[in-house]
Amino acid sequence: MISAFPEGFLWGGATAANQLEGAYNEDGKGLSVQDVTPKGIAGPITEMPTEDNLKCIGIDFYHRYKEDIQLFAEMGFKMLRISVAWSRIFPNGDDTEPNEKGLAFYDGVFDECLKYGIEPMVTISHYETPLHLAKTYDGWKSRKMIDFYVRYATTLFERYKDKVTYWLTFNEINSILHAPFISGGILTPKAQLSKQDLYQAIHHELVASAKVTEIAHQINPKFKVGCMVLALPVYPMTPSPDDMIQTLALDRSNLLFSDVHVRGAYPAYAKRLFKENGIELEILPEDTTVLKNTVDFVSFSYYMSICETSKDVERDIANILPGVPNPLLKASEWGWQIDPKGLRYVLNTLYDRYQKPLFIVENGLGAIDELVQDEQGAYTVKDDYRIAYLNDHLVQVEEALKDGVDVLGYTSWGCIDLVSASTAEMKKRYGYIYVDRHNDGTGTLKRYRKQSFYWYKDIIASNGASL
Ligand code: BG6
């Protein structure tokens, strides 16, 4: 069988520190916004970490990363996407000196990856703003955040310049539109956050992202820096021109982020968006210069598509962003609509728009798994539903490759079961590896290979030919 996947395609898996490391207060780590959100993105903010916050222990990757990376290596991973917990390195965020124990932990993780020939990809900020920055500065609303973030990212670039090549500046940067606390560390309640403040915070993040892209390239010209957006293809609900115009507007609200990252300036349509919403951004002259430091590639998460209509109807929350459900698509147990062809569509539209290499850094099915014994008596999960989901999506990646799209790699989300982001539970599993931990906090934390583990191993070994 001939594979459409190019040689050197980066197959692997993706994770985030706050969802798997645990050890939330060990070795000098400070608190982050995750430590006070036990119920996930839409849930309440607690004063201090509470016992029901599953992220405090996570899946204990902090102490078990060697075992986990060995399992990833067994599947043949070429890449592992992790994030660095900002508050492990700068416990308060505005500290002047980094925490050596935090830095040493990631040295260990990267060394372990490299031992097996696994290339690490690092998300610098994955919904883990130090809590102190949220409480003291209201997160990215403040321009001061740019300096704190630059200091933090520069520390990582210098420390790991010979171990890490691929960097992502902000996870799903456009999610700040709907989750300002988790995504942007903005403590002001969403309902009271003005569009002016929200877009000023976005501007600060965009400047910070461009600034560290510049620094990264100075520190190591071989570094590849990407932006990371939540990709959500929007289909018009009907052929009505009004629906189409509305679709265009919704699409642009998300595309604005990658447009700035790739083109180095705000797009023409931003002018009207800002004017009609009474937004007057404070853009310093140096910001305009900094923004010109564009990314090397565009990465994105893809889970589902949504519809848009000009009618005034209820919107569901699709992943983190609101959308109108598509009547033609089935949904996961969490209501996320399954649309493999939407991935081909996203790959094509982003490539047509930017002609930049693309990277699918998240995709997967969150499902309830049952640990059972196989014919030989070994414990496993018969997750044919997950295999079907991933296979269907990868077939569409193959189609996009045939369409001529330049795709660098694919790291499926939550390659080992971890705590979910939106609802902060264990029950919603994405992994090839089952972790014995449950919503009530019980479990041995033992790891088990699911059926999808062997399926993915074959896919990687055949470079996609066994799809
Ligand atoms: C993305 C996030 O939104 O989706 C991840 O980058 C998250 O952190 C993933 O885990 C899946 O979402 P959830 O809520 O099912 O964990």
Q: Please check the confidence at residue 79 and state whether its pLDDT lies above 90.
A: yes
Length of the chain counted residue by residue: 467
> Does residue 361 line the site of ligand 1, with CB under 6 A?
no
pLDDT, one tens digit per residue, over 354-386 is 999 999 999 999 999 999 999 999 999 999 999
Alpha carbons 347 and 399: distance in angstroms, whole number: 10
Q: How far is CA 242 from CA 14, 246, 248, 310, in A?
A: 38, 6, 10, 6
Catalytic residue among 172, 205, 308, 362: 362
Given the CA of residue 413, which atom of ligand 1 is nearest to it? 9
Q: Please check the confidence at residue 1 and state whether its pLDDT lies above 80.
A: no
ipTM of the complex: 0.99
pLDDT value at residue 319? 66
> Does residue 171 line the site of ligand 1, with CB under 6 A?
yes
Would residue 254 count as lying in a domain?
Answer: yes
Alpha carbons 283 and 200: distance in angstroms, whole number: 9
> Does residue 172 line the site of ligand 1, with CB under 6 A?
yes
Dihedral (CA of 376, 377, 379, 380) sign: positive
For ligand 1, atom 7: residue with the closest CA: 421
> Does residue 297 line the site of ligand 1, with CB under 6 A?
no
pLDDT, one tens digit per residue, over 249-271 is 999 999 999 999 999 999 999 99
Alpha carbons 352 and 361: distance in angstroms, whole number: 19
Ligand 1 geometric centre to CA of 230 (Å): 10
Q: Which long-range contacts (CB under 8 A, 24 or more apart) does 275-284 make?
A: 277/195, 277/199, 278/195, 278/196, 279/195, 279/196, 279/199, 280/196, 281/199, 281/200, 281/203, 282/143, 282/200, 282/203, 283/203
In the DSSP assignment, the letter for residue 414 is T
Closest to 95 (Cα-Cα) out of 155, 18, 168, 34: 155
Given the CA of residue 40, which atom of ligand 1 is nearest to it? 14
> Does residue 366 line the site of ligand 1, with CB under 6 A?
yes
Would residue 275 count as lying in a domain?
Answer: yes
pLDDT, one tens digit per residue, over 160-218 is 999 999 999 999 999 999 999 999 999 999 999 999 999 999 999 999 999 999 999 99
Would residue 2 count as lying in a domain?
Answer: no
Given the CA of residue 419, which atom of ligand 1 is nearest to it? 16
In the DSSP assignment, the letter for residue 367 is B
User: Is 362 among the residues known to form the active site?
Assistant: yes
Q: Cα angle at 213 between 208 and 216, to 5 degrees?
A: 120
Element (H, E) at 409: strand 407-413
For ligand 1, atom 12: residue with the closest CA: 421
Alpha carbons 110 and 65: distance in angstroms, whole number: 10
Three-state DSSP state, 226: strand
Three-state DSSP state, 58: coil
Would residue 27 count as lying in a domain?
Answer: yes
> Does residue 223 line the site of ligand 1, with CB under 6 A?
no
**Start-to-end Cα distance in the chain:** 10
Residue 94 φ/ψ region, left for φ over 0, alpha for ψ in the -120 to 50 degree band, beta for the rest: alpha
Alpha carbons 178 and 42: distance in angstroms, whole number: 10
Q: Please check the confidence at residue 126 and state whether its pLDDT lies above 70.
A: yes
Phi, psi dihedral angles at 265 (to 5 degrees): -165, 160
The pLDDT of 338-352, averaged and rounded, is 98
Given the CA of residue 41, which atom of ligand 1 is nearest to it? 14
Q: What is the count of structural domains for the chain?
A: 1
Question: Probe ligand 1: pick from 170, 301, 427, max atoms within 8 Å of CB?
Answer: 301
The CATH code of the domain that includes 378 is 3.20.20.80
Ligand 1 geometric centre to CA of 375 (Å): 34
Residue type, 427: K
> Does residue 168 line the site of ligand 1, with CB under 6 A?
no
Mean pLDDT across the chain, nearest whole number?
Answer: 97
pLDDT, one tens digit per residue, over 420-450 is 999 999 999 999 999 999 999 999 999 999 9
Domain that holds residue 412: 10-461
